[in-house]
Amino acid sequence: MSNILETPIQIGAYTLRNKVVMAPLTRMRSTGNFAQPELAVEYYGQRAGAGLIIAEATQISQQGQGYPNTPGIYTDEQIEAYKKITDKVHEEGGTIFLQLWHVGRLSFKDYQPNNSLPVAPSALAAPGHAYLPDFSRADYETPRELTVAEIKEIVEDYRQAAINAKEAGFDGVEIHAANAYLLEQFLKTVSNQRTDEYGGAVENRARLLFEVLDTILTVWDNSKIALRISPFNVSGIAPEPDPYSIYDYVVKRLADYKLAYLHVIENKEIDPGNGATVTFDTDKLYIKHISDFYTSPVIVAGGFDKDKAETVIEKGYASAVAFGKNYISTPDLAYRLVNDLEPNAFDRATFYGGGAKGYTDYPFYKV
Ligand SMILES: Cc1cc2nc3c(=O)[nH]c(=O)nc-3n(C[C@H](O)[C@H](O)[C@H](O)COP(=O)(O)O)c2cc1C
């Protein structure tokens, strides 16, 4: 029996072997100089049956880090560690992109060069709590507003990280412009109150995102570049009063780039995150809204199960669907979804930090 998730799909330069994507998932296990541990080779190798693996958010610089033990892609050691992962995934016949990350204000001075304050478009503290290096929590600090010269340095850091990702053997890169991190902070008025060319009108708030994209285009072909957005995200950021104006502007411009894929997180309509039950209504999805003007491949994420995934693909709103928590717990998730088998239950206590427990020890389905 064949189903729609099982069949291959062309995404930019690649033919994915199925439409089940492993979402980027921060696991905070890179204890030595923020290079991926040996165990990560096994972890990603176990999940290579996905049509595409998007490796976890990876800081492009020390300044871009905001959590304990997250991996970087700015030193030789970090590149070498990732090379083992991409080799393993390729050996298993998989495809793997790297998610390029700068957290902006969602950091803490303990992570920053010279223990300086985290940087952001504007000196506005994020709501919520930072994770300190010892995994304790503290209110976010009021960040320091970036100068234009510093913004240009960050663009350069993205360029170098894109080069490094290539050296590490990735098949492509996904620019992380979601989940309240630096690029989203620039897009949204609730975190960007600049009065220069990076603030105010939509084209100004989107300027950094397109500068980053244009820079990465000097390193990678557009068919190997992707971008992730979360228009309705309210974690680590206040709700944006009119997300449609900025995101429609961005997505319309992105359409001309013909990227490998646009990755949309739909956390508003599907998974409100407060335990409320919501009816799955495809008409309310942002991927439906953009389907009129965005025709390149779209990957969607945020509370999807097999039925919802099939629905959005059948309706033509998405090319493939990314799964987060279920991929943490279920190394053979693609196989299970295709064969109508339940994923393993996930254990939130082992999402972040630690070793093999809750990382490489989730079972495969036994026939
Ligand atoms: C433990 C954990 C780590 C995550 N890390 C990342 C990340 O590194 N980058 C990112 O864009 N999203 C991250 N996310 C969000 C997921 O990629 C995904 O969008 C989210 O979990 C919703 O999908 P799901 O309902 O299938 O879990 C993370 C989510 C979880 C639960």
Q: How far is the CA of 23 from the centre of ligand 1 (A)?
A: 6
Q: Which two tokens stand for residue 286?
A: 């942002």
Residue 24 CA to ligand 1 center (angstroms) comes to 6
46 lines ligand 1 (CB under 6 A): no
Burial 92-110 (b: 16+ CB within 10 A, else e): eebbbbbbbbbbbbbbbee
- The CATH number of the structural domain formed by 9-350 is 3.20.20.70
What CA–CA distances, in Å, run from 241 to 232, 234, 246? 10, 11, 10
pLDDT of residue 274: 57
Low-confidence ranges of the chain (pLDDT < 70): 1-2, 268-278
* Joined tokens for residue 31: 């204890």
Catalytic residue among 181, 198, 359, 362: 181
- Among 20, 26, 351, name the best residue to mutate to test ligand 1's pocket (greatest count of ligand atoms within 8 A of Cβ): 26
pLDDT of residue 32: 87
pTM exceeding 0.95: yes
Residue ID of nearest Cα to ligand 1 atom 29: 25
Instruction: Decide whether any atom of ligand 1 lies within 6 Å of the 227 Cβ.
Output: no
Joined tokens for residue 59: 């800081």
**Nearest 5 degrees, angle CA 186-CA 192-CA 195?**
110
Distance set, CA 217 to CA 223, 248, 267 (Å): 10, 22, 29
* Residues 173 and 226 sit within 8 Å (Cβ to Cβ): yes
Distance 325 CA to ligand 1 centre (A): 7
Distance, CA of 8 to chain centre: 22
* Ligand 1 atom 21: residue of nearest CA: 324
Instruction: Locate the domains of the chain by residue range.
Output: 9-350
- Verify whether ligand 1 is closer than 6 Å to residue 70 (CB atom): no
Provide the pLDDT for residue 1: 45
Q: Which tokens go with 247?
A: 């995101």
Q: What is the pLDDT at residue 278?
A: 66
Residue nearest (by alpha carbon) to ligand 1 atom 1: 351
Task: Please name the residue ranges forming H helices in 72-147.
Answer: 76-91
Taking the CA of residue 176 as reference, the ligand 1 atom at the shortest distance is: 11
Tell me the C-alpha distance between 324 and 302, whole Å: 8
Q: Are strands 96-101 and 52-59 parallel, antiparallel or unpaired?
A: parallel
Residue of 133, 143, 118, 125 lying closest to 67 (CA atoms): 133
Contacts of 324 (CB under 8 A, 6+ apart): 23, 25, 301
End-to-end Cα spacing for the chain: 17
Does residue 59's CB lie within 6 angstroms of at least one atom of ligand 1? Answer: no
Can you tell me whether residue 162 is helix, strand or coil?
Answer: helix
Phi, psi for residue 53 in degrees, rounded to 5: -100, 130
Q: Which of 28, 179, 328 to mutate to test the pocket of ligand 1 (most atoms within 8 A of CB)?
A: 179
Q: Residue 67 catalytic? A: no
Ligand 1 centroid, distance to 343 Cα (angstroms): 16
Distance 195 CA to ligand 1 centre (A): 33
How far does residue 179's CA lie from ligand 1's centre (Å)?
9
Q: Which atom of ligand 1 is nearest to the CA of 70?
A: 8
Ligand 1 pocket test target in 131, 325, 336, 352 with most atoms within 8 Å of CB: 325
